[in-house]
Amino acid sequence: MNIWKISVHNLKSKPLYTLLSVFILSLSITLLLGIQQLKSSFKYQMENNLGNIDLVIGAKGSPLQLVLSSILHLDNPTGNILYKEAKKIAKNPMVKMAVPISYGDNYKGFRIVGTTLNFATLYNAEIKEGHTFQKNMEVILGHTVAERLQLKVGDDFLSSHGLVDNNIDLHDEKLIVVGILKPTHKVIDRLIITNLESIWDVHNHKNDDGKAHENENKDDDDDDHNTDNKEITSLLISFKSPLALLTFPRKINKNTNMQAALPKYELNRLYEFTGVGFKTISWIAYLILFISGTTIFISLYKMIKEHAFDLALLRTYGASNFQLIKMIAYEGLLIVCFAFILGFSFTKSGLYFLFNFLENRPQQIILQEVPLNQVIQIISLVLLIIILSISLAIYPILKMNISTIISNEK
Amino acid sequence: MIKTENLTFYYKQEEATFCFPDIALKEQEHLLILGKSGIGKTTLLHLLSGLLKPVGGNVFIDGTATNLLSENKLDTFRGQNIGLVFQKNHAVHSLSVFENLKARFFFSKKKISTSAINELLNELGLLELKNRKILKLSEGQLQRLSIALSVIHSPKVILADEPTSNLDDENCTIVIELLKKYAKKNKSNLIVITHDHRIKPFFKNSITL
C-alpha cells in the first residue's frame, strides 16, 4: 500500500471521468505533436530536396512555379530555355556545377528527367545496381520508382507524354533500365533519369507526327549532334561561393530573357503560406489543452469537495496534509502519463495512416521525427498546464478543517 | 494512559467558550462521557484526538503532550496511538474493505500485517467481503468495518463519538461489547462520548458534562 496505489484506486473508482480526461488531454497532445511532426517533415523535405542547388534558371514566369517544377518536381514547368544560352551561363567562373534538366514525360506518374550525370551528384545519389546511362534511351531509376513499379535492371518500358500518367499518349521508343540508385530520401528517389538526348529523340519523333509540345525541342530540322538550338527546361546551379547569390540572379534577370530563382527563398515563402494552416491547428490544440486542464481541475476539485470526509478520515488515520496533496497530484500526473502514452501512439498511428495514404501518390513526403527540443517543449507546456490545474485544485486541502468536516457529517 | 489539564476551547464564529473537567485514566481504564447536544462533547473528543488544538490546557496521551506537537508529528501520533469511531460509519469509498485496513496501517506508519487484518475481519464476520467496495456494504457491515478500522493498529486510546445513537438496543450492545473487547485485547483506554444513556451500565467510570 502506498500513495500511488490509492491514487490508482481513486481513478479506477471513476472510470468514465478518468477516460474522458485522458482522452481530451491526449487529443490535444496528438494535435500538438502531429502538427509539429508534419511541420518538420514538410520543412525537412523541402530543404533536403534542394540538395546542393543554389539557383535555378528557367523560362520567365513565376519563380515559385520554377522552383516547384524543377526542384520539387511538383508543378508544371514555366517553359523552355535555349540550351546554348544555358551553356553560356554554366561557363561562368562563379559556377561550381551546372546541371541542365529537361522533362515532359512520365512513366506511371513518375517523371522522366533528361539531364547529365552530374544530376545525381547534386543529390549525392549513388548507384546501387547496374551502371549509369551511357547510350540514348537508357535510364536509371530512383529508389522509390524501382521499388514501387517493381522494375529491375534490364527491364524496359514505354514512357507517356506529359506529367500525368496516361495510356493514350505513349511514345514509341522503349526506355531500358540500366541502373538503380540507392535511397537518398530526396526527390531523386522518385525520378527516372536519362540523358538529354533521349528526351530530345523521343520528342523529335513525336514532332514528326505533327504534334505540338511545350517542354521540349520544337526544332524539327535539328541535327541530334548539334545541340545549339535544342531546348531544356531549366538549369540547376551550385556556386563555388555563396557570395555569387548576391549578384548572379540579378544579372540573369536583367540581361537575359530567362529568370533566376532562389530555391531557398521561394520555399521559405511557400512555407510561410502553408504555415497559416499549421498555426490554426496549433491554436485549436492549445484551446483543447486549456479545456483539458480545466476538466482536470474541475474533477480534482470536485473530488476534494465531495470526498472531503474520505480525506478527513485519512487524516485521522495519520495521513499528513502533504500526503493528501500527493494523492491528488498523483491522480493528475497519472492522467497526464496515460494521455502522453495515448497521444504519442495516436500521433504515430495517425501519421502512419496519413502517410500510407499519401504514399500512393508519386509526391510523397518522408516522415520526420519531431525534433527533441520540440517534444520537450510540448511536454513541458502540457505539464505546466496540468500542474497549474492540480495546484488550484489542491488549495482546499490546505484550508481543510478536519474537525468541522467530521462533526458535520452526521 | 490519558490525562487532561484545564482544557478550554473557543469557537470564534459562535463566540462560545468551552471549559472541560480534567480527565485522568490509567492504563486500560475506560470512561463514558455523557452530555446533552451542544454541550461540547464532540469538541472534547476532537481535542483529545488532536483534531482541534486547545486554546488553553494540556492533553497527555501516554506521557506525550499532544497539544505541543507540530502538525506533522501530531498526524503521525494520531495515526499510531488513536482509534476514532464516528457516529456515521465511514471508510474510503474508492478502496475495498481490505485496502481500507491496509491504508490504515500505511498512514499510521506501522508495518502492514495481513494476518492481523484477516484475523480481525474473520472475527467481525467480514472475511468473505474483504474485496468488496465500501458502497456495496450494508450498514451493519460498514459499522463493523468502522470498528475494525479504529482498532486494527492497536491504538493506545479508542475514542468513540456517539457510536450507538442510530442503533437499536441489540446492535447497541454488540457495538459496545466489541469496542470493550478490542480495548481489552490491545490494552487501550476506551472513551465513549454520547447522550445515549443505554450504554451507561457498560461503564464503571462516567462523567456528565
Q: Which one of A1, A320, A403 has the shortest CB-CB distance to B103? A: A1
pLDDT at A187 over 80: yes
CB of B50 within 8 Å of any CB in chain A?
Answer: no
What value does the mean pLDDT take over residues A334-349? 92
Contact B90 A309 (CB under 8 A): yes
What value does the mean pLDDT take over residues A210-224? 43
Reported as a single tens digit per residue, the pLDDT across A118-131 is 888 888 889 998 89
CB of A353 within 8 Å of any CB in chain B?
Answer: no
Instruction: Say if residue A33 is in the same domain as residue A77.
Output: no
Burial class (CB in 10 A: 0-12, 13-18, 19+), A131: exposed
- Residue A267 in domain: no
- Residue A270 in domain: no
CB of A402 within 8 Å of any CB in chain B?
Answer: yes
Instruction: Say if residue A95 is in the same domain as residue A235.
Output: yes
What value does the mean pLDDT of chain A take? 84
**A183: which DSSP letter?**
P
Instruction: Say if residue A171 is in the same domain as residue A307.
Output: no
C-alpha cell at position B67? 497539544
Instruction: Say if residue A209 is in the same domain as residue A128.
Output: yes
How much of chain B is in helix, strand and coil states, percent to nearest 5?
40, 25, 35
Reported as a single tens digit per residue, the pLDDT across B8-30 is 898 888 788 888 889 888 888 99
User: For an interface test with A, which of B69, B82, B93 has the most A Cβ atoms less than 10 Å from its Cβ?
Assistant: B93
Q: Which of A261, A288, A306 is the last residue of a domain?
A: A261
What value does the mean pLDDT take over residues B47-73? 89
Pairing mode, if any, of strands B206-208 and B30-34?
A: parallel
Instruction: Say if residue A141 is in the same domain as residue A171.
Output: yes
Instruction: Say if residue A249 is in the same domain as residue A370.
Output: no
The residues facing A99 across adjacent strands are A236
Look-up: residue for cell 528526351? A199
Instruction: Say if residue A24 is in the same domain as residue A147.
Output: no
pLDDT at A208 over 60: no
Q: What are phi and psi of A190, to 5 degrees?
A: -105, 15
- Residue A153 in domain: yes
Q: How far is A310 from chain B (nearest CA, A)?
A: 5
Q: Which of A228, A261, A294 is the last residue of a domain?
A: A261
- Residue A28 in domain: yes
pLDDT at B97 over 90: yes
User: Could you tell me which residues come within 8 angstroms of residue B122 by beta carbon, excluding any fewer than 6 positions away?
Assistant: none
Whole-Å CA distances, A137 to A9, A57, B162: 72, 26, 102
CB of B104 within 8 Å of any CB in chain A?
Answer: yes
What value does the mean pLDDT take over residues B187-197? 90
Give me the DSSP letters along B6-26. Answer: EEEEEETTTTEEEE----EE-
CB of B75 within 8 Å of any CB in chain A?
Answer: yes
Confidence (pLDDT) at A361: 54
Instruction: Say if residue A228 is in the same domain as residue A305.
Output: no
Reported as a single tens digit per residue, the pLDDT across A78-102 is 888 998 888 888 898 889 999 999 9
- Among residues A3, A116, A23, A14, the alpha carbon closest in space to that of A338 is found at A23
B154 in Cβ contact with B184 (< 8 Å): no
Q: Which one of B51, B75, B149 has the shortest CB-CB distance to A403? A: B51
Domain around A167: 55-261
Reported as a single tens digit per residue, the pLDDT across A373-392 is 888 988 999 899 989 999 99
Total domains in the fold of chain A: 2
Q: Which of A208, A235, A261 is the last residue of a domain?
A: A261
Q: Where are the beta strands (DSSP E) in A78-162?
A: 81-82, 95-107, 110-115, 127-130, 138-141, 156-161
Contact B51 A1 (CB under 8 A): no
Label residue A230 by pLDDT band (50, 70, 90): confident
Look-up: residue for cell 518522408? A366
Which residues in chain B have their CB less than 8 angstroms from residue A323's CB? 107
Instruction: Say if residue A284 is in the same domain as residue A174.
Output: no
Which residues in chain B have their CB less than 8 angstroms from residue A12's CB? 94
Burial class (CB in 10 A: 0-12, 13-18, 19+), A158: middle
What value does the mean pLDDT take over residues B131-150? 89
A302-312 b/e (C-beta count within 10 Å ≥ 16 → b) = ebbeebbbbbb
Q: What percent of chain B stands above pLDDT 90?
A: 26
How large is the angle between the packed helices B114-123 and B97-107, nearest 10 degrees? Answer: 130
Instruction: Say if residue A173 is in the same domain as residue A98.
Output: yes
Q: Which one of A10, A313, A321 has the shortest CB-CB distance to B90? A: A313
Label residue A268 by pLDDT band (50, 70, 90): confident
Q: How far is B15 from chain A (nearest CA, A)?
A: 16
Q: How far is B2 from chain A (nearest CA, A)?
A: 18
- Residue A354 in domain: yes
Contact A410 B112 (CB under 8 A): no
Nearest CA in chain A to B45: A403
Which residues in chain A have their CB less than 8 angstroms from residue B105's CB? 1
Give the count of beta carbons closer than 10 Å to the beta carbon of residue A204: 17
